Each structure stands twice: as structure tokens, then as C-alpha cells.
Amino acid sequence: MSLLGHNPISRPHDRVSWQAYALNWALSLSVRPLLEVAAVSPRSMWLASRAYAVGGVLASRLPRHVQVDPVSFKDFDGEWLRAGPVEEGKVMLYLHGGGYFFSSAQHHRPITWRLSRATRRPVLAINYRMAPAHDFEQWREDAITAYRHLLAQGYRPENILIGGDSAGGHLTLVTLQTLRDRGLPLPRAALCISPWTDFTNSALSHDSNRWRDPMFPSPAIRKLAIHYAQGRDPYDPLLSPLYGDFSGLPPLLIMAGSTEILRDDARRVATRAREAGVSVVYEEWHRMPHVFPLFAFFIPEGRRAYKHIARFFRSTEGVGSVGELIRQAG
């Protein structure tokens, strides 16, 4: 049965592995304090990003069967990943998370190589420009440039997937809304893992999960949103895609952990997209940390997530693009 008609909230499991409990404990003692420091000032953001980079060296190690090829654009770079046999006529564009001020395509290899294996297609992961040197307009244009590059390389839009985590989930939604508004063909489907979608910080989970989220301190997220907005209207869809227009967007798979402070950022996007007629699968994983598929090397729930992702994308293969439907009608 197609997943596109799934229940509004899918809870894939109730039991939590001992590995996940251990991970949550470790994150609460390491990453959470680091992010508390990062939100203080641009200087502390830079220092936190350097500290994260040290830990990311181990995360960027790959299995021997994964092929990585660098790619350069005018203002940024990225890499192609191929995990085993792939269909070269299909592709996925991936936008990494990191609060728009740290991390990279290389540090998100634990996600991208597994996505390549799960979707059986090459993945293009880009290092879009980030804060504090750059802003929303620039990182949005980098994502659009990468997507246009795929079209120019001959990839048909119905053979393109797009996805991202956290800030990359934010950028995924902004990119989809911008592609539609500019009249560009939309990709087949999209994936948002723990997306940050609302810079008004009005979600109830900011308070209800304030002491339950093992990774994110709520005040730090609020400070980052205020810092990035710099006086702009936080309801502007470029800052808060939650308040943008979802009509005409492709099928979405949205994943989040039940104890995240950003849980309701994901929930409300799923609701607004459905109200606009978009096919949405929203999965809420019990007591999973922010972007839990990143930790698939340790937690079994992370490994299971890629099976869900693969199944979702397979289910969208039966959904024709607008162009295909027009051709059939004609």
C-alpha cells in the first residue's frame, strides 16, 4: 500500500534501544553545552563550529565501497557520493544541517552515503555558504544553483529527490517554495529530517520539551533565530517556511523525535502542507534525538529510518509529475 495516504502522525516504535538512551545521555553532556555557547555571539559561533569540526573528522569516514567525487561551483563546492550500484539517471540533492553556521557535506556523510544506498542513486551534497559571513538570500541561491546544475546535467525533475536535516530541512522547504515561485520544475519528492521551520519560536514544544531534548537548549535556538532575522519579519517565509505557501509542492516525508524542542516545527509543517493538498508522511520517533538518522552507526533506530525513507521514495514513483499527467491526457 502506498505511504502517501498514511495517518497524520506515524509513530514507528515505542521501545527505545539502550544505545539510544546512551546516545541521549552523551549528547546532553557534550553537544547541548556546546550549542549553548554557540548562540552567544558570532565569535562563539565560530569557535563552536571549529570544535564541531574536530569531532566531525571521525564521522566523515566512509566504508570502502563508497565513492566520493568533489564538485565545484562559483561560490561554493560539494561532493558526489555513490554507495554501491546506483541508477545514474536518478539523483538526490542533499542540504546538510548545522544551524547555518557549522557542519558540512563531509560531516554529514553518515547520512548521505546511507541515502545513496537506500535510494540507489548518487547523492549531490553541497557546502552552501553559511553565517556569519552569509545570509538567507545566499544560501538559498546556492541551493537553487545546485538544483539548476542537476537539470543542466540532464536529470529529469521526476528523477530528482531533495532533502535536508535541521537547517538543511529549512533550506529544503525554502528551496521548494522558491522553485515553484520561479516556475522551475519541481523534484519528485522531498525529505525533511528534524526541520527548523519557524523563526517566531512559537511552537509549544520549545517549552514542553525544554528539559527533554538532549541536544538543543531552547534559549539557544531563540537567540539564533533573533540573530539571523536581524530585524526582518520572522514570519517571512524565507526565514520561516512554515508560513509560506505549500500548494503544488511534491510529496514530503518529515521525520522528528518526540522529545525535540523542534518537534512542533515538523508537526505544523506536515499539517500546513496537507491543508494545501500536499501528500505528506509525518513520522514521530519516540525519544529520538535531533537528526537521529545521523547516528545510524550506533543506534538501531537510525538504521531503521533509512528503510522507511527508501520505502517512502519508492511509493512516490507511482505519482506522475504534472508534465507526465498532461502528456497522458493529451
Superfamily of domain 3-318: Alpha/Beta hydrolase fold, catalytic domain (3.40.50.1820)
pLDDT of residue 60: 62
Q: Using N-to-C axis directions, what is the helix angle for 136-152 and 167-181, rounded to 10°?
A: 70
The pLDDT, as a whole number, for residue 326 is 30
Q: Cell digits for 49?
A: 563550529
Q: Which residues of the chain have pLDDT under 50?
A: 1-7, 54-55, 57, 319-330
- Inter-residue contact 285 to 263 (CB < 8 Å): no
What local confidence, expressed as pLDDT, does residue 115 receive? 98
**132-177: pLDDT as tens digits:** 889 999 999 999 999 999 999 999 999 999 999 999 999 999 999 9
pLDDT at residue number 330: 31
Q: For this structure, is 290 an active site residue?
A: yes
**Of 158, 260, 283, 301, catalytic:** 260
Q: For 65, phi and psi rounded to 5 degrees?
A: -80, -5
Question: What does DSSP assign to residue 166?
Answer: T
Which position among 96, 108, 170, 290 bears the catalytic label? Answer: 290
CA-closest candidate to residue 6, choices 288, 320, 284: 284
The reply to whether 205 belongs to the active site is no
Q: Which of 166, 194, 218, 279 is catalytic?
A: 166
C-alpha cell at 231: 530585524
What are the tens digits of pLDDT across the range 168-211? 999 999 999 999 999 999 999 999 999 999 999 999 999 999 99
